[in-house]
Amino acid sequence: MTSYISQEVKARIRKEAKEQCGYCRSLQKYVLGVLEIEHIIPKALGGTDEDRHLC
């Protein structure tokens, strides 16, 4: 199941997370790749694309 998360939503999630990984709290500036926006609960298990379900 593929989902599309808009650039606007991604930017909002990154700002709310203060440019940190939601799991290990590493700052984006110290990570060699772009931190991905992920579903906290996978869509295959009933998760949604709502902001509160993204990390």
| pLDDT at 41 (0 to 100) | 92
Q: How far apart are CA 53 and CA 9, in angstroms?
A: 12
| pLDDT at 4 (0 to 100) | 80
Predicted model pTM: 0.76
First to last CA, the chain: 18
Q: Supply the range of the domain harboring residue 41.
A: 7-53
Query: Is residue 28 in a domain?
Result: yes
Q: Which parts of the chain have pLDDT scores under 50?
A: 1
Here the tokens at position 40 are: 């906290």
Query: Is residue 1 in a domain?
Result: no
Q: Which has the closest alpha carbon to 26: 9, 39, 18, 5?
A: 18
Query: Is residue 2 in a domain?
Result: no
Q: How many domains does the chain have?
A: 1
Phi-psi region of 9 (alpha: psi -120 to 50; beta: other; left: phi over 0): alpha
Query: Is residue 38 in a domain?
Result: yes
